[in-house]
Structure 1
Amino acid sequence: MRGLRFASASAGVTAVLLLGGCVAGPPANIDTPPPALPGSFYNAPSADVSANVAALLPQDDPAFASLAAVMLDNSPTLAEAIARIERARAASDRAGANRLPLVGGSASVEATRTNPAQFGTNFPSTVSIDTERVSYGASLTASWDPDLFGRLRAQERAAIARIDAAGADAAGVRLALLAEVAGAVVDWRTLAAREAALEQDLVAAETLVTLADIRERSGIAPGFDRVRAEAAAEASRSRIAALPAERARLLGQLVTLTAQPAAIVRSALDQPAPDVAAPAPPAAVPSDLLTGRPDVLAAAARLAASDADLYAVAAQRFPRLDLSAALGLLAFDIGGLFASDAITGSVGGSLLAPLLDFGRIEAEIDGAEADKRIAFQAYRGAVFTALGDAEAGYGLVDAADRALAIAERERASNERSARLAEVRYRAGLSDFLTVLDARRNADTSGERAATARGQARRARVILWQALGGDQASAAAATP
């Protein structure tokens, strides 16, 4: 008889497995070929250039060092990104715990009162009914899904991949914030260089005003020369007066980035910076972006998560086995609670398989397949965005360096021309209009050279961010 029951149970399990297999169908397979990348960047320097990515940041500037350290400690944006890592880690812990048995316990006291009339009135006189009863119970229960077809394991893999994605996102936020701080510091130093050039222009223009005034008083030059010289001086003053507005914008940006009062930010910016040449851009290859760019790493992690999600959804087509057990005590008085007769228990298992779901699971699989295609295209987009940023960064550095070299030559040439025109004017060999034109060209070229120098440094910050930063700066800021 026992063998017959076992055979019947085995036949039932086999039937459930076979019917579940009918719902299963072929496994989902979404092709995700790696994007084809060129062997080198179009505008990158030769591989024998001795340079490193970290040098692209203004690390020699004490203002950047101070503000970057403060930003990393206090930025709300970075703290939010780190909190997202913690949330992803909690989800992963939950997914891992789902693979383990669930054990619970309970205790109860229950009092019941019964109306004897509900049993009728034809009871023999020797039969009595206890109308009030109190029961005492305690139990320990356990249940476990052995995960025969890997559904829970796939969910855990997806959760772990999302931790990696959150970590890469935090690294991307860190990278962007460092680039913004570096760019703001470079712009601040550029404003200082522009102001110094304009101050020199103002001194030269005021010298011409004094010279024109002397010649006017001596009767050897018309008063119109003095008026034109004063107009040139006012032009320099006007450009100097426009600089505080740009400083206020940069100060506000750094207050937002560092979450510090303006006084602290300004004291950091007031530190003197060494005058060093812009570093050479480092040589890199496109494949470096796949391991250095946080956005690419985050997209790759999300692609891995979507693959695991697809596996977990597809595993719903197969039967699910649940094992359960319970061990308890039940007595109707406190004294009998620990007697051997009070012990109760049960052990069981259930097998659930989808038979006719009318396309519900297949619809979920189709959705998971679409999610994986979306994640793959997002990954491809991140790769080619990184490639485009790096190409643009190298091209920007190259163009900025060329523009700086031309601006420096132009400034030197215009300064010589202005000095020569002034000497000739003092000797009576040139008119004042020639001197003013030469001075005006020298003034504007000095400010342009300062701007070009700042743009060359700014281009290097952009390239640093495009390449994913150096390994220390690009690492996720995990707690």
Structure 2
Amino acid sequence: MKHLSLSALWPASQLRRAQSAVAAAVAALAVAGCANYAGISSDKQITAPETLESTQSVPAQGGQWPSLDWAKQFGDPQLPQLIDEALAGNPSIAQAQARIAKASAYIESSRSSLYPHVEAKYSWTRELYSANALFPPPYGGTWYSENNVLASASWDLDLWGKNRSRLNMAVSQQKAAEADMQQARVTLAASVARTYNQLALLYALRDVTQREISNRENVGRITSGRVTAGLDTNVEQRTAEGNVATSQTNLSELDGQIQSVRYQLAALLGKGPDRGLQIANPLINPDINVALPDNVPADLIARRPDIVASRWQIEAATHNIKEAKAEFFPDINLAAGFGFDAFGWGRFLTASSRQIQAGPAIHLPIFDAGALRAQLKGRYADFESDVANYNQTLINALNDVATNIAAIRALDRQMADAQRALAAATSAYQLSVIRYKAGLSPQLQVLTADQNRLANEQTVTNLRLKRSDLQIALIQALGGGFDATSTDLAIDGSGQRQAVNQQAASH
């Protein structure tokens, strides 16, 4: 049978053109199949604090930002000591420090990928080679020992910055962890102060209750005298005794609450419950005033560690995106090796047993069924989540400040009314006691005036200590003395914000 060749069917010129067309088509398919990230981007942007309207809710008052020793202004020397003890011993701070250590280890690991890696290995193998396989006699059917030593080096050139982006991401995550630790410190210090203030409130209410017991015992003595004189009956006598017992019950309840709060303080200090029993009675001055500094919205982003942590998390997400984009480009790795390989020991380290390896390795993603694009989309989703978290954190921070300012204003108005009410109730009670002792009014009038006076005194006491609690909350809302600009955690607001937004949108 006669066979026909392509040259017999087509002229040589047409055959060459056909071959060229096929080669061009194959090249076009290869290029079309190359992985790329066209069309993947994000339009999410971090919010500028000046765009959040807050001038009426957060007015400039010419005050100062809290300092790290803000607790001293409450006039109780024990409070700063308790805060320092908590910061030194609370497990939550230790946990935050462990997260920083882990982030630092990841930085070291990421940094190592920027440099060549060198390793050496040695192997000794004793083997009986088959007489019926690859090696003929005299090797086949004989035992041989093989010595192999090889020193090798490799270096990823990182032409597209993948490894550098991974390192920058690790650095940003460490910064976020450091800011998180500062947030934990601010939260812990405020928790100690507010719990200590709660202890001060309970002791103040206890003092009110003790005075009430004294007042009711005094009324009881008046009642006893009136019963002896035949002006009152045993009904009034038993009523007076019951009122004293009720106040003593309230005193016992307050003692139980005081002990519970002491245990809470001990836990915040990172100690056992007995430590709480050693704390002296609080001497907090509830009449301090925290004035807002000027330009709160713009400066708050450097004063609140939770905002700073969120901002660094966005930085990490941005570098994560850069790393994912670099995955689309060729990876070039240089490798080289030198060593010796020989059967037995006689010629192991001779020149003829040398082995040398050298050459580049190139990895080019052409078709991966969309895996790289899916990975990049996931990184952008993380970025958008971090941006949303930052924006929400900034909004919450401003609202924290505004809420505490509004609560303090309302409380000050309420305090003025409560003090007037207490003064009036106290005067009414004193007059009712005088009239009751003189036989001009019944016991019921004294008891009613006493209840009113007690309720008003408790209200004033609660308001005074609630105000100091709100002052502590406002200090916490203003960052608790943290200042990123004095540390390596600072991020330039406007320039960095523009760079992040441009990076996220680019493709």
TM-score, length-normalised on structure 2?
0.82
Q: Cα gap change, 1:421/1:43 in structure 2, threshold over 3 Å: closer, same or farther?
A: farther
Corresponding letter in the other structure for 2:273:
A
Runs of 4+ more than 6 Å apart: 127-130, 472-476
| Matched residue, 1:112 | 127
| Matched residue, 1:12 | none
Structure 1 residue 431: Cα displacement: 3.4
Distance 2:92 2:142 in 1: 68
Matched, 1:278 2:293: no
Q: Cα gap change, 1:317/1:117 in structure 2, threshold over 3 Å: closer, same or farther?
A: closer
Residues 318-340 of structure 1: per-residue CA shift (max 9 Å, x gap):
11111100011223343533333
SS at match of 1:219: coil
SS at match of 2:275: helix
How does 1:43-122 map onto structure 2 within 5 Å? 43-44=57-58, 46-49=60-63, 52=66, 57=71, 60-116=75-131, 118=133
Q: 1:24 aligns with which of 13, 36, 39?
A: 36
Q: 1:394 aligns with which of 380, 388, 405?
A: 405
Residues 230-256 of structure 1: per-residue CA shift (max 9 Å, x gap):
333233223212212322331232232
| Matched residue, 2:368 | 357
| Matched residue, 2:13 | none
Q: 1:460 aligns with which of 471, 474, 482?
A: 471
Corresponding letter in the other structure for 1:373:
E
Matched, 1:378 2:389: yes
| Matched residue, 2:45 | 33
Structure 1 residue 36: Cα displacement: 4.2
Residues 52-76 of structure 1: per-residue CA shift (max 9 Å, x gap):
4667646532332332222112211
How does 1:186-205 map onto structure 2 within 5 Å? 186-205=197-216
SS at match of 2:414: helix
| Matched residue, 1:11 | none
Distance 2:159 2:425 in 1: 82
Distance 1:120 1:398 in 2: 95
Q: Report the RMSD for the aligned CA atoms in angstroms.
A: 3.0
| Matched residue, 1:156 | 167
Residues 440-469 of structure 1: per-residue CA shift (max 9 Å, x gap):
212222222221111111111211222221
Q: Cα gap change, 1:293/1:67 in structure 2, threshold over 3 Å: closer, same or farther?
A: same
Distance 1:365 1:469 in 2: 38
Task: Give the unaligned 5+ runs of structure 2.
Answer: 1-26, 490-507
Distance 2:63 2:122 in 1: 75
Residues 352-391 of structure 1: per-residue CA shift (max 9 Å, x gap):
1111212111111111111111111111111111122121
Corresponding letter in the other structure for 1:380:
N
Q: Cα gap change, 1:386/1:307 in structure 2, threshold over 3 Å: closer, same or farther?
A: same
Structure 1 residue 115: Cα displacement: 4.3
| Matched residue, 2:313 | 302
The worse-fitting range, judged by mean Cα deviation, of 96-105 and 271-280 is 271-280
Matched, 1:448 2:462: no
Q: Cα gap change, 1:369/1:272 in structure 2, threshold over 3 Å: closer, same or farther?
A: closer
Contact 1:281 / 1:460 at 8 angstroms: preserved in 2? no
Q: Cα gap change, 1:411/1:349 in structure 2, threshold over 3 Å: closer, same or farther?
A: same
Distance 2:130 2:273 in 1: 81
Distance 1:84 1:195 in 2: 43
Contact 1:41 / 1:391 at 8 angstroms: preserved in 2? no
| Matched residue, 2:495 | none
Structure 1 residue 49: Cα displacement: 4.4
Distance 1:238 1:244 in 2: 10
The worse-fitting range, judged by mean Cα deviation, of 436-445 and 318-327 is 436-445
Matched, 1:414 2:414: no
Distance 2:343 2:41 in 1: 60
How does 1:157-306 map onto structure 2 within 5 Å? 157-268=168-279, 270-271=280-281, 273=283, 275=285, 277-284=287-294, 285-306=296-317
Distance 2:239 2:123 in 1: 101
Corresponding letter in the other structure for 2:326:
A
Distance 2:371 2:139 in 1: 56
Structure 1 residue 210: Cα displacement: 0.4
Distance 1:382 1:60 in 2: 32
Structure 1 residue 214: Cα displacement: 0.1
Structure 1 residue 39: Cα displacement: 5.7
Contact 2:182 / 2:482 at 8 angstroms: preserved in 1? no
Corresponding letter in the other structure for 2:125:
E
Q: Cα gap change, 1:113/1:275 in structure 2, threshold over 3 Å: closer, same or farther?
A: closer
Q: Cα gap change, 1:49/1:326 in structure 2, threshold over 3 Å: closer, same or farther?
A: closer
| Matched residue, 2:492 | none
Task: Give the unaligned 5+ runs of structure 1.
Answer: 1-14
Contact 1:55 / 1:279 at 8 angstroms: preserved in 2? no
The worse-fitting range, judged by mean Cα deviation, of 332-341 and 345-354 is 332-341
Q: Cα gap change, 1:265/1:367 in structure 2, threshold over 3 Å: closer, same or farther?
A: same
| Matched residue, 1:7 | none
Corresponding letter in the other structure for 2:62:
D
SS at match of 1:321: strand
TM-score, length-normalised on structure 1?
0.86
Distance 1:318 1:179 in 2: 50
| Matched residue, 1:6 | none
Matched, 1:340 2:355: no
Distance 2:444 2:272 in 1: 49
The worse-fitting range, judged by mean Cα deviation, of 40-49 and 132-141 is 40-49
Distance 2:210 2:173 in 1: 55
Q: Cα gap change, 1:130/1:437 in structure 2, threshold over 3 Å: closer, same or farther?
A: closer
Contact 1:53 / 1:281 at 8 angstroms: preserved in 2? no
The worse-fitting range, judged by mean Cα deviation, of 55-64 and 451-460 is 55-64
Structure 1 residue 173: Cα displacement: 1.5
Distance 1:128 1:174 in 2: 73
Contact 1:45 / 1:281 at 8 angstroms: preserved in 2? no
| Matched residue, 1:327 | 338
Pairs aligned (count): 457
Distance 2:115 2:134 in 1: 48
Distance 2:233 2:325 in 1: 93
Structure 1 residue 209: Cα displacement: 0.8
